Amino acid sequence: MGTTIQTVRLAALPASFSSSRFFSRPLSKALTFPFISRHNYAHKSPFPLLARALSVPAVQTIDTTDNKVVKPQPQWQAAIDFKWIRDNKEAVSANIINRSSNANLELVLQLYEKMLNVQKEVERLRGERNVVANKMKGKLEPSERQKLIEEGKNLKEGLVTLEEDLLKLTDELQLEAQCIPNMTHPDVPIGGEDSSKIRKMVGSQRVFSFPVKDHLQLGKELDIFDFDAAAEVSGSKFYYLKNEAVMLEMALVNWTLSEVMKRGFTPLTTPEIVRSSVVEKCGFQPRAANTQVYSIDGSDQCLIGTAEIPVGGIHMDSILAESLLPLKYAAFSHCFRTEAGAAGTATKGLYRVHQFSKVEMFILCRPEESDSYHKELIQIEEDLFSSLGLHYKTLDMATGDLGAPAYRKFDVEAWMPGLGRYGEISSASNCTDYQSRRLGIRYRPSEKSSSNPKKGKGNLAPTQFIHTLNATACAIPRMIICILENYQQEDGSVIIPQPLMPFMGGLELIAPKSR
């Protein structure tokens, strides 16, 4: 029996994906395709938020097995409030500049006006066609009937042409408008990454009385991972975990899940292959010139770079009861990232790899609650890292470092003494309704309309798009770096942080192997 192998080919990703947790910095601003939409947002923000959607035109492909042309799937559409963009032109323009976006706002507005004019003409012709159709119902002289038939035929032909033009304009307008990023929380510092502000500094750098080793040297001496063999088997930036490192990974996952479950999160394991459209709807671009996404050749599927993507898709195209909110998930998954453009000492060892395990928190909530849940997420992260005795700082990331979906993002950077620097270990983002407007996730408020006392569908409150938030509870490789480098001892051993000991079978330290 033969074996069919599907190849994995690199697919491109925009800056929004690369600036997310542990992705390399933005690679190609020209590859972002955001969308904007207005919503009812009970927040102190001076203006309603905007949201962005990514969408790729359907591409016609050929099935090589029988040389048949495969019809493309229809392009999905995101909810876009072009009128709001036009009415808030100055705010949108300023935000585009602050977010270092390449969006062409003038072109968007020009296309919108053109689309409106075509829509009006379509409606006018439809009206005339209806008038002609009504006249045909009465008694008419043959000559008059023939005249109406010719008029109706001409109207129909003109209408077909205009409707085709309208469809093309709609698609073009969507793609151009999708270049506009989400609006930004008013407290977010403006500028590049260097403009990010420190919100909190916890602990201090440990003082060592002996020469400090980095995690690569420690791992080799402790015989807990192997990069050389992995490079031969899989390529660079892959690794084997061995011995106590395997136990440490399992301990970190189980400890993290147990802690977040105490805070009301539902544990999940997720699919690690998803449809490209879901990747797009979550705000990531699976196909372009540079990439962080592995796509499966000959299919519409990709390997996930974060569990945020499959978790975001769980409630796709659904209306949730308000009583279910908030929905809080803690998802364990493996993550796959190409790390295109990543090089140098800042990425060596476990710091930036192609495959790793992670526990991701994800919240779906009412719009007026997303700001408070954002604070809750960063507090959970800080509590977890503090309990492990890490020295870290929390940053309010500047506009230039925000991925296009994020309204606001907090990063946590921990001190890694072996690497001699702070390294990002987690982030927490409030994406408002950026993702839900593309994924089609809404909720129906429990309050019924008072204007219609009668029972029935008309008495239901209108649906609203929910807000989504995501945050890293534990990214395993970087947490292993922190533990090895901060808890190393002079004799070469590494102490296991107390909270993890029960999950390590009581093991208290990792000792060098005797030769």
If you search the block for the tokens 């147990």, which residue do you land on? 258
Task: Tell me which residue has tokens 């796959």.
Answer: 336
306 is in an annotated binding site: yes
Which residue do the tokens 């890694």 mark? 416
The token pair that represents 2 in the structure block: 């033969």
CA atoms within 13 A on the CB side of 161: 8
Q: Is residue 86 a known part of a binding site?
A: no
DSSP 8-state secondary structure symbol assigned to residue 310: H
Cα–Cα distances in angstroms (integers) from residue 251 to residues 248, 321, 443, in the given order: 5, 36, 37
What is the signed CA dihedral for 506, 507, 509, 511, rounded to 10 degrees? 160
- Is 259 annotated in a binding site? The answer is no
Number of other residues whose CB lies within 10 A of the CB of residue 133: 12
117 assigned binding-site residue: no
**φ, ψ at 114 (rounded to 5°):** -65, -40
Q: State how far the Cα of 503 lies from the Cα of 55, in Å rounded to an integer.
A: 43
23 is an annotated ligand-binding site residue: no
Catalytic residue numbers read: 337, 352, 424, 427, 478
338 annotated ligand-binding residue = yes
Which SS3 state, helix, strand or coil, does residue 230 take?
Answer: helix
Task: Answer yes or no: is 424 a known binding residue.
Answer: yes
Consult the annotation and say whether 426 binds a ligand.
Answer: yes
What is each CA distance from 81 to 36, 112, 144, 167, 515, in whole angstroms? 6, 10, 45, 17, 68
Q: Tell me the C-alpha distance between 269 and 258, whole Å.
A: 14
Known binding residue 19? Answer is no
Cα(458)–Cα(449) distance, integer angstroms = 8
Does the annotation flag 21 for ligand binding?
no
Residue 459, classed as helix, strand or coil, is helix
Give per-residue burial for 363-400: e unless 16+ CB within 10 Å, then b.
bbbbbebbbebbebbbebbbebbeebbbbbbbbbbbbb
How far, in Å, CA of 178 to CA of 131, rounded? 39
59 labelled ligand-binding: no
Q: Which residues lie across from 357 on neighbouring strands?
A: 334
> Is 337 labelled as part of a ligand binding site?
yes
Type of residue at 427: S
Instruction: Please give the annotated binding residues, written as ranges.
Output: 306, 337-339, 353-356, 360, 424-427, 470
Annotated binding site for ATP: 337-339, 353-356, 424-427
- Residues of each annotated binding site for L-serine: 306, 337, 360, 470
